[in-house]
Amino acid sequence: MDKVENNGEVRTFTGKLVVDNPNGYPIQVKRGNFTVSNDPLTLGDCKILEKRTLPRNGAETVDFQLNVKNKALLLGGLQQLGSLLTGGEAKVTIQGEIKACTYGIFCKKYRVNESLKLKL
């Protein structure tokens, strides 16, 4: 995370995410929109801030912004309080889609549905 801002209702996290391109040709990531949740509570939304070209068979950093409602952050913390005290894990789900293009012509939306376990 590079920066955190708080306006009272929403906490905004800005950071960089490393995205890997396993293909033998460059891909341009145009946009991405995601929902971040801690089942069953929706914590906030995340989006990719700018277009970025990923080199072939390589990785590139992509800027992202995560907006989390302070109320959801508090409820999520209370929901995970037992795990927090015992050093357990929290399950975070990221769902959404990324739009990517090859050579500026062939564009496709890719669904993202990932679950991560974070140590508390």
Kindly report, residue by residue over 39-56, the tens digit of the pLDDT. 777 778 889 888 888 899
CB contact at 8 A, 76 and 47: no
Whole-angstrom CA distances from 46 to 11, 23, 64, 84 are 12, 25, 7, 24
**pLDDT given for residue 57 in this prediction:** 93
Choice between 90 and 24, residue whose per-residue pLDDT is larger: 24
**pLDDT given for residue 55 in this prediction:** 92
Query: Is the model's pTM score more than 0.85?
Result: no
Task: Indicate the length of the chain as a whole number.
Answer: 120
Q: Binning pLDDT at 50, 70 and 90, where does residue 21 land?
A: confident
Q: Is the pLDDT of residue 113 over 80?
A: yes
To which residue do tokens 């050093």 refer? 87
**pLDDT given for residue 7 in this prediction:** 77
**pLDDT given for residue 37 in this prediction:** 81
